[in-house]
Amino acid sequence: MSTKIFYTLTDESPFLATQSLLPIVTAFAKTADIDVETKNISLPARILAAFADTLPAGTTFAGKPVSDDLAFLGALTLKPEANIIKLPNISASVPQLKAAIAELQKNGYALPNYPDAPATDEEKAIRARYDKVKGSAVNPVLRQGNSDRRAPNAVKNFARNNPHSNGTWNTSVKTRVASMDADDFYGNEKSITLADADTFKIEFVDVNGAVTELRAAKPLLKGEILDATVLRMASLEKFIAKTMAEAKAQGLLFSVHLKATMMKVSDPVLFGAFVRVFFKDVFTKYADLFKELGIDANNGLGDLYKRLEGNAREAEVRAAIDAALANGPDLAMVDSAKGVTNLHVPSDVIIDASMPAMIRNSGCMWNKEGKLQETIACIPDRCYAGIYDETVKFCKENGAFDPKTMGTVPNVGLMAQGAEEYGSHDKTFVAKAKGVIRAVNSKGEVLLQQDVDAGDIFRMCQAKDAPIRDWVKLAVTRARASSTPAIFWLDPERAHDREIQKKVEAYLPEHDLNGLDIKIMSPRKAIVETMKRAKAGLDTIGVTGNVMRDYLTDLFPILEVGTSAKMLSIVPLMAGGGLFETGAGGSAPKQVQQFLAENYLRWDSLGEYFALVPSFEQVATQTGNKKAQVLADTLDAANGKILEFNRTPARKIGELDNRGSHFYLAMYWARALADQKADAELAVKFAPVAAALEAKEGEIVAAFAAEQGKPADIGGYYIPKADLLKKWMRPVEVFNSVIDSI
């Protein structure tokens, strides 16, 4: 009886790479009686699933009936046999969502437009469906376990032997992190732990006492932690204006670092505040026109330009924007050559990518001339800004990190069952007027409340007891398995962290801690301690909450090994199965742009290679399938060869790209299978495969190289055509024939 591994189809660069890699994985897995089944959780697939009941019967997508594959996988994570390979997907901002909708409509799918300002009940219902697709819609469904993310030894050794540059730092660098000093989420947070199971609903009470229900009653479990906080918009706008003036006076770039994808409700609003304040005179002067055109600052400067196209006053408004850019501080750029600023598109501003990149560039970002310049990095809320502030200060005092000698920083992250999904879903609201937003239990008692003014951002989050207990267990397990000190990053000044710390202190004694070095430290102290140890070549496990997990598993890997895409990311599901995430680094839209222009894909699939090893190991452990263990062991050996001989993709045409890397994986894996002694049947089967690939290595690599340098038309950005994908991603028939013959 065959066993199934579920492999996700996602978006952009990883989706393109899958077209080349998956046939190899499927062919090799089949020899161990393992079926690799795909489930489509891409942005267009999720949109169609949200409207499946409104589509004509028999509607298909990508050759299959429209189905809610995300819901299927979510249910699977609650079963012990779950074995899921999860690739990075688009966490859609509104501009991305609209672009995907438009492409689906162009392809004949009868979908409604996204309502920017829903007025009718029908429009509100449509908006509610689309809102479920926005932002971090995938991860909370699939992450029914906590995170174990680390750089594999082979990757770490490769980085030490082939070090990248982390720039140069000294005390003269003026770059700094700027944050609010009051009235942010950090300063206003309140938190409680539920003594008993209950329900809670969220209400707005206006100044006259009128009550409006914002969210219907939902359950709370015994021991669950519930938070409520608010960021005051008036204070945020003052902070932005003050920091702009400081940037201009000090000759620094002005940059904003948020996450308007994962934190899909709160951070687009924060982003919009930066756009409004930076272009305050423009938004004031043209308020009526902008209202008429449906311009929303939350969608960025790029959307504003798009809506202006063809308008009689377009040139006038553009001139006003240019004047604001000239009169304000120099603005950090996303793409200097194309004039794309840090305020163009909310989904371009991803803090976990932008801050490590700045730190690697000696504290600089790109200016409008395409040159590196020191910056004020605006991270308005203090909940996580401190870790970046301390990193910048540390580099100024101690110089850049050296990949040849620095230690490694694995992470054990609390994320199971939607823990700490801050600002991302149905407990985050923008206040419509002055009043109070409160959480009320089944008896009508107020659990938590916050005073609000119009425009303030209110958010709540939950963290259930069982995931916290599991998180503590995982931290202890990893500390013992790796003989590495572990630090819980918990801030005594934060209400939420104080509640978490009570549980950590209660659950740690449930484990054998003999010989282990486990501490609890504030994030600022923890990152300084961790950086000191890393600088000295020592390893430290960071045990953190959900958002910090997300940020740190980009920050340290980028400094250590040059990228977060090569991380081993295992989610031991609480029900007993496994979710194997293929590193970090997002879905790399810039790499798609290069591919479309040059037929060169630099996406590195090493994260997929690494994720497949524990996936096969789980099959072996759960089913006794010895061939699965052989696949795991030989793939691990092949991964070592990929790194030893530097067969990962380069960055420009004329060098090895993603598809060439896949060829080498197949060749090394086949050779390892042919030479292993544990399973004679597999050795016999793969001996001719290895011989054929080795004999044709030069021909195949040359054929891949010959494909480069010409535009690649795949028939659509969000919905590429299957035949065109095969043409571009599997272009070398001599290689295909060997793989397809297995």
519 C-beta neighbours (distance < 10 Å), count: 14
168 C-beta neighbours (distance < 10 Å), count: 12
What is the bridge-based pairing of β-strands 568-572 and 147-150? antiparallel
Name every residue whose Cβ is closer than 8 Å to that of residue 289 and which is 6 or more positions away in sequence. 311, 313, 317
Integer CA distances (angstroms), 642 to 55, 524, 527, in order:
45, 37, 32
Q: pLDDT under 50 in the chain at which residues? A: none
At position 360, the amino acid (one-letter code) is R
What CA–CA distance (Å, rounded) separates 469 from 457? 31
CA-angle at 487, arms to 481 and 492, nearest 5°: 150
Residue 208 token pair = 């006259």
Q: Is the distance from CB of 568 to CB of 150 less than 8 angstroms? A: yes
User: HEC profile for 219-287?
Assistant: EECCCCEEEEEEECHHHHHHHHHHHHHHHHHHCCEEEECCECCCCCCHHHHHHHHHHHHHCHHHHHHCH
- CA Rg, the chain, in Å? 26
Integer CA distances (angstroms), 276 to 237, 301, 342, 480, in order:
9, 10, 13, 51
Residue 243 token pair = 């920091």
The alpha-helical segments, DSSP class H, found in 62-93 are 69-76
What CA–CA distance (Å, rounded) separates 182 from 26? 54
End-to-end Cα distance, the chain = 19
What CA–CA distance (Å, rounded) separates 742 from 734? 13
What CA–CA distance (Å, rounded) separates 218 from 162? 52
Instruction: Walk me through the domains of the chain, giving residue ranges and CATH numbers.
Output: 3-144+573-740 (no CATH), 186-231+421-460 (2.60.40), 233-398 (no CATH)
Q: Hey, is 219 helix, strand or coil?
A: strand
User: DSSP of 594-657, one letter per residue?
Assistant: HHHHHS-----THHHHHHHHHHHHHHHHHH--HHHHHHHHHHHHHHHHHHHTT-S--SSTTS--
Residue 271 token pair = 């982003």
What CA–CA distance (Å, rounded) separates 742 from 739? 6
The pLDDT of residue 585: 61
Kindly give the interhelix angle for 722-729 and 12-30, rounded to the nearest 10 degrees.
80
Q: Is the distance from CB of 376 to CB of 243 less than 8 angstroms? A: yes
Q: Is the distance from CB of 461 to CB of 497 less than 8 angstroms? A: no
At position 210, the amino acid (one-letter code) is A
